[in-house]
Amino acid sequence: MAVEAKSLSTPLHGMDAEEAELREQLMFDPRPREELNRMVMESMVHTTPRYWAVVAFLAVVVLVCLFGAWGYMIATGIGLAGVRKPVYWGVFIVTFVFWIGISHAGTFVSAILRVFKAEFRRPFTRAAELMTTFGLAAGALYPLIHLGRVWVFYWMIPYPNARWLWPNFRSPLVWDFLAITTYLLSSTIYLYLPLIPDLAMARDRTQGWRHAIYKTLALGWRGTEAEWARLRKAITIFAFAIIPVMFSVHTIVSWDFAVSQTAVWNSTIFGPYFIVGAILSGVSAVVTILVILRATLKNMDYFIRMEHLDALGKLLLVFSMAWAYFFFNDYLVSWYGGYEAVRRVLFFHSSGPDSWIWWSMIIFNVLIPWLTLWNRRIRRTPWAMLIITLLINVGMYFERYTIVPMTLAHQRFPFDWGNYVPRIEIIISIGTLALFILLYMLASRLIPMVPVWEVREGQEAHMIRQIGKAKVPTVSELE
């Protein structure tokens, strides 16, 4: 292992305040390995009656609002939904795009920070990766729900049979099926690889059914030098591979709209516009989850610190600006094109009966981030970041609502105009939100939410060196 020490900043000439501020960073506040392991294990096994009450409530909501309402719609017919001519894509598609967007950003944020060796990533990469898995689990239900006749779902799967019933590869349902399957498989492997050493740690500190599960999942990990070398190589390969997969999959979701002849949808910029929107909503969701984990899980205030909210707040500000750029680029070119049908749809967005949704989208995605996230104090205030990130995700949901039903409701011909009022779709969407939260709460008690070995590795690489009278923060590059 070659070690190369690099100075991180100018020397701290006995400045206790600056050194104290430096010690507030997780990498410069090391604790013994066994204590780190104990803190993470305590966060997994420590539960309260309030926790189980929330889990029971969410389970009931999932049973009633998701599976109960969905089953009732299957038994009664798709007419229970509010989709009518001319709006055949409603809240089901809106919520599908929202969940897929959030899920894409989770693994992407982890991978891109790992590729660029951003040190602040270490304690929260797993929280972001879990968001991807559970977001995909929630979003993957919607092609089935939207299908209506769910019992013929296997028509989306490409397989030969005696009747030559191959799927229609021109259908977005087939594209989404292939895209979601690809991303779910690759992101699950990417989540599992860094988890192996922590599962082995949990295996050595538990008994009973937990020990049996961790022993199986740890794959006999012993922590030899050869195992570490293979693990790091595999993680690096997947980190590079998952980034183009993410771009391609969410571009496919944008093609569900862009390849049509529908006014406003037929845009060449929809691919990058959807990707930037997905990252904005995904990073917002990561911050929301980190704030909640920090407030509810034992010992998480040691691992999740203000420096992490500060760094992610800066990312949010950058992606909010990027989203605004793509949004107004798409809007201005469509408006300036002079095509009357497109102009009418754009005017309907900002001046129609649902224009409050369009204006709320602008306020939540642009004005609020720009007015608040430039301020370091706000970025380091958990409750403020919680409110801002929740509003951004509300704004991103409104963006998808504007793109889908509000656009379809006002197309080229007046006899094809109409209003869309969601009905059972709202209940089912609440059910999938409860499913996402429930899965996350259960996972927080089953797997280590913090990659302990990555935190420990980072703390060993960072130190404050005494050079003469100066104290210099340094980081060693481990190879």
Given a contact cutoff of 8 angstroms between Cβ atoms, the answer to whether 268 and 259 are in contact is no
Q: What are phi and psi of 30, to 5 degrees?
A: -70, 155
Given a contact cutoff of 8 angstroms between Cβ atoms, the answer to whether 287 and 389 are in contact is yes
d(Cα 143, Cα 70) in Å, to the nearest integer? 13
Mean pLDDT over 150-162 rounds to: 72
3-class DSSP state for residue 143?
helix
Structure tokens of 174?
Answer: 């087939």
Q: Which residues contact 290 (CB under 8 A, 6 or more apart)?
A: 124, 127, 304, 308, 309, 312
Q: What percent of the chain has pLDDT over 70?
A: 92
| 213 in a structural domain | yes
| Nearest alpha carbon to residue 176 among 267, 244, 97, 86 | 97
Structural domain range at position 375: 33-475
| 9 in a structural domain | no
d(Cα 470, Cα 472) in Å, to the nearest integer? 6
| 3 in a structural domain | no
Question: Structural domain tally of the chain?
Answer: 1
Structure tokens of 339?
Answer: 């095509």
> For residue range 424-465, what is the model confidence (pLDDT) as tens digits?
999 999 999 999 999 999 999 899 989 988 888 888 888 777
| 418 in a structural domain | yes
- C-alpha distances (whole Å) from 336 to each of 119, 245, 324, 406 are 45, 34, 18, 20
> For residue range 401-424, what is the model confidence (pLDDT) as tens digits?
999 999 998 888 888 788 889 999
| Nearest alpha carbon to residue 28 among 113, 110, 120 | 120
End-to-end Cα, the chain, rounded Å:
6
Half-sphere exposure of 60 (CA within 13 A, CB side): 5
Half-sphere exposure of 49 (CA within 13 A, CB side): 0
CA 142 to chain centre: 17
Structure tokens of 428?
Answer: 């089912």
3-class DSSP state for residue 432?
helix
Block residue for tokens 């001319």: 86
> For residue range 121-140, what is the model confidence (pLDDT) as tens digits?
888 889 888 988 898 889 88
Q: Give the H/E segment covering residue 478.
A: strand 470-478
pLDDT-based confidence at residue 479 (cuts at 50, 70, 90): low
Does the pLDDT at position 4 exceed 60?
A: no
| 59 in a structural domain | yes
d(Cα 193, Cα 234) in Å, to the nearest integer? 8
Block residue for tokens 């929630």: 138
| Nearest alpha carbon to residue 352 among 418, 397, 415, 262 | 418
d(Cα 382, Cα 288) in Å, to the nearest integer? 9
Supply the pLDDT for residue 3. Answer: 46
| 17 in a structural domain | no
> For residue range 181-211, what is the model confidence (pLDDT) as tens digits?
888 888 889 889 999 999 999 999 888 888 9
Give me the sheet containing 3-7, strands edge to edge.
3-7, 470-478, 462-467
d(Cα 324, Cα 316) in Å, to the nearest integer? 12
Supply the pLDDT for residue 72. Answer: 94
| 379 in a structural domain | yes
d(Cα 404, Cα 358) in Å, to the nearest integer? 12
> Does residue 245 or residue 166 have the better pLDDT?
245
| 94 in a structural domain | yes
